[in-house]
Structures are given as C-alpha cells and as structure tokens.
Chain A
Amino acid sequence: GENVEQHPSTLSVQEGDSAVIKCTYSDSASNYFPWYKQELGKRPQLIIDIRSNVGEKKDQRIAVTLNKTAKHFSLHITETQPEDSAVYFCAARYNAGNMLTFGGGTRLMVKP
C-alpha cells in the first residue's frame, strides 16, 4: 500500500519567515495530494490540495508543489503569522475511491 513520510516533525520559524514542509510518497500511481491544518484541540481542516496533473498550486500565502519524478510534494507558507501555528498533515491517494494515507504530521511554531 501507499506510504507517506513527512518532514520535519517540528518546525520553528520567526514571524514573517517562510516555512516549508515536505512529504514523500511511495506509490507512483498516486494522483491526489491534500494538506490539512489542525490547530490545538481542533479538527483537521483542508487548506489546499493538488492533483498529479498540476505541478504547483497557490492560495494567497500558501502553495503546494509536486514533483512526480521524485515522488515528493511540499507545502510552502510565506510571511508566516502566529495564527499559522498548528500541526500540518499531508496525504496521498492512489485513486478515486481509495483511502487517503496521511503523513505523521509537522508541528509548526511561529514565534512573534
């Protein structure tokens, strides 16, 4: 089955700096890659997703890039703010109807 590894497990940045979280996946046939944000004590929420036919997608300060050859995808957050502090999860899906496989999560701390 699919295996998703996420790095780093913790990340601390200064407010205003950029943050990058990277995930690698094992199944080259995976075609959908979402990112979820989970604030402390809250539910995970989808923040951005990308499909395998797209190399990059942006939404304001967040962007996701996909490298199918290397089988990795990354979340980029620019101009970080304290409210970006949360745990971020990546995931991969082999095919519509297949389950999502999640990475282990990255705790991002943005220091004011």
Chain B
Amino acid sequence: GNSVTQMEGPVTLSEEAFLTINCTYTATGYPSLFWYVQYPGEGLQLLLKATKADDKGSNKGFEATYRKETTSFHLEKGSVQVSDSAVYFCAITNSGGYQKVTFGTGTKLQVIP
C-alpha cells in the first residue's frame, strides 16, 4: 500500500529563515500529493496539492513540487513567520477508484521571533 515518510521534528527556525520539510512517498500508479497544516487547537486544513508529475502546488508563500523521479514532495517557504508555527502533514491518495488519503506522521514547526 501507499506510505509517506516525513522528516522528524520539531523544527525550530528564526523568523524570516528558509524552511524545507522533506517528504518522500511510496505508491503505485500516479497518486496525488498534498500538504495539510494543523494550527494549535484546530483541525487539519489543506495547504497545497499537486496532482501530476512536475506540478507545483503553492499557497500562502509555501511551495512543493511533485518529483516523480525522486518520489518526493518537499515543502518550502522562503521566509517563515511566527504565525507559520504548526504541524505539517504530507499526504498522498492512491490513484484510481476510491481515493484513500494516507498521511505522514507530521512535522512540528516552531518559529521564534
């Protein structure tokens, strides 16, 4: 079955630092890839997605590129803010039929002023 591996956290950065959170996946076929974010006390919410190879998803200054050759979907942001402190989940869906979402374990990001 599908699986997702994320870098372990927590990740602590100073404000305006560059962020990378690594995500690699194992899947058959052509899955769609996602990043979800969970702010303290809230539910998960979709941050960005990409549905085919070489697609770049972007939102709120975050970007991730679907790399089929390296089976990766790393999350990046050029300049993080304190308000970006949250847990970030990489996720994939299986291709075709009922699209079950498989999540990674999450990476906690803490941004300090």
Specify whether A and B are partners.
no
Residues of B bordering A, CB below 8 Å: none
Residues of A bordering B, CB below 8 Å: none
